[in-house]
């Protein structure tokens, strides 16, 4: 299987000298195309740093990241921005929709930014997938949290990116709505062949993935295939992740 994203010996150090913090300590991992991976670990274990390095939002101190066959290390800012636009979709906890734009305009925005024609077929497909056909003319403020996150997912899917990175996508949603959103992400992988990498604190959210990888102190310390919520929670307990919850 080909990897959509591959990190090789990625280290990320913030600061210098005595105050330096090693957020990632030599991480190597691949994410095969068409798979859904959850990234878990205690607070401060390096999850956000990992996601930012993998998505070209931040540069590793050493090591390399290859995304959709492109080595990110040598790219300049302009090339990186373009690659992010064309190859990556993002879903955040806080939705990050543009309030002045309609649902349809928010979904089409990545196509517009990439200078692509509004692709009617791609739009219709993602709107159908997330079930928003009767909300296309609404503004984000007129939608529930779950509906807003569905718009954000449609926006992430519309360019058919090589990978979607999600950072706590259900962190702001109630349990039932969270499950709907996770079901959509799952379906985009199973039926649509999308690749997804999702950071989460929630064992139930992680159980929607094909695989869970665990970070502790900036290093990968294990993985779990076909995760159940109980198996994930058990593993997290051993990492000391619930100590502060
Ligand atoms: N810009 C920064 N400058 C200095 N240190 C940083 C910076 N960003 C992160 N760190 C440190 O790197 C380590 C990893 O942080 P990171 O945000 O990746 O953790 P996380 O697993 O996402 O945590 P959380 O679950 O709380 O979001 C932490 O020790 C953090 O304090
Ligand atoms: Mg974080």
pLDDT tens digits along 3-14? 999 999 999 999
The residue nearest atom 28 of ligand 1, judged by CA position, is: 44
Percent of residues, the chain, with pLDDT higher than 90: 80
Separation of 124 CA from ligand 2 center, angstroms? 33
Instruction: Confirm or reject: Cβ of 44 under 6 Å from ligand 1.
Output: yes
Sheet holding 88-92, edge to edge: 88-92, 163-167, 196-199, 36-40, 211-216, 219-225
Segment 86-110 mean pLDDT: 93
What's the N-to-C CA distance of the chain in angstroms?
Answer: 38
**For residue 1, what pLDDT is reported?**
65
With a cut of 60, say whether residue 244 has pLDDT above it: no
Asked, for residue 245, whether it belongs to a domain, the answer is no
Pair 29, 21: CB distance under 8 Å: no
120: left (phi over 0), alpha (psi -120 to 50) or beta: alpha
Rounded to the nearest 10°, the torsion over CA 141, 142, 145, 148 is: -80
Domain that holds residue 153: 3-238
**For residue 172, what pLDDT is reported?**
87
Instruction: Confirm or reject: Cβ of 41 under 6 Å from ligand 1.
Output: yes
Instruction: Confirm or reject: Cβ of 48 under 6 Å from ligand 1.
Output: yes
Judge if pTM exceeds 0.95: no
Pair 46, 218: CB distance under 8 Å: yes
Pair 120, 194: CB distance under 8 Å: no
Query: Looking at residue 144, which CATH number applies to its domain?
Result: 3.40.50.300
Say which residues have a Cβ less than 8 Å from residue 219's Cβ, sequence separation at least 6: 24, 25, 26, 27
Say which residues have a Cβ less than 8 Å from residue 240's Cβ, sequence separation at least 6: 42
**For residue 241, what pLDDT is reported?**
63
- Looking from the CA of residue 51, the nearest atom of ligand 1 is 18
Asked, for residue 243, whether it belongs to a domain, the answer is no
Query: What domain count does the chain have?
Result: 1
With a cut of 60, say whether residue 158 has pLDDT above it: yes
Asked, for residue 208, whether it belongs to a domain, the answer is yes
Secondary structure element (H or E) that encloses residue 79, with its range: helix 77-87
Instruction: Report how far residue 193's alpha carbon sits from residue 69's, in angstroms, rounded to the nearest whole number.
Output: 17
Asked, for residue 112, whether it belongs to a domain, the answer is yes
Q: pLDDT digits over 191-231, tens only?
A: 999 999 999 999 999 999 999 999 999 999 999 999 999 99
Three-state SS sequence of 161-202? CCEEEEECCCCCCCHHHHHHHHHHHHHHHHCCCCCEEEECCC
Segment 116-125 mean pLDDT: 85
């Amino acid at each position: 299987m080909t990897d959509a994203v591959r990190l090789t010996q990625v280290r990320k150090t913030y600061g210098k000298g005595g105050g330096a913090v090693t957020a990632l300590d030599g991480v190597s991992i691949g994410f095969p195309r068409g798979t859904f991976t959850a990234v878990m670990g205690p607070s401060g274990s390096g999850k956000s740093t990992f996601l930012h390095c993998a998505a070209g939002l931040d540069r590793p101190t050493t090591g390399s990241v290859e995304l959709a066959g492109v080595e990110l290390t040598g790219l300049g800012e302009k090339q990186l921005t373009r690659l992010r636009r064309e190859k990556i979709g993002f879903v955040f906890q806080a939705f990050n929709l543009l309030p002045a734009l309609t649902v349809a305009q928010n979904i089409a925005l990545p196509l517009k930014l990439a200078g692509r024609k509004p692709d009617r077929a791609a739009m219709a497909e993602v709107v159908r997938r997330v079930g928003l056909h009767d909300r296309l003319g609404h503004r984000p403020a007129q939608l529930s949290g779950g509906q807003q996150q569905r718009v954000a997912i449609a926006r992430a899917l519309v360019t058919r990116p090589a990978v979607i990175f999600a950072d706590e996508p259900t962190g702001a949603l109630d349990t039932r709505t969270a499950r709907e959103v996770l079901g959509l992400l799952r379906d985009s992988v199973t039926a649509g062949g999308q690749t997804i990498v999702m950071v989460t604190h929630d064992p139930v959210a992680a159980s929607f993935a094909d695989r869970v990888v665990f970070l502790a102190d900036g290093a990968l310390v294990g993985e779990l295939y076909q995760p159940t919520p109980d198996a994930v929670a058990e593993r997290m307990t051993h990492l000391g992740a619930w100590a502060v919850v």
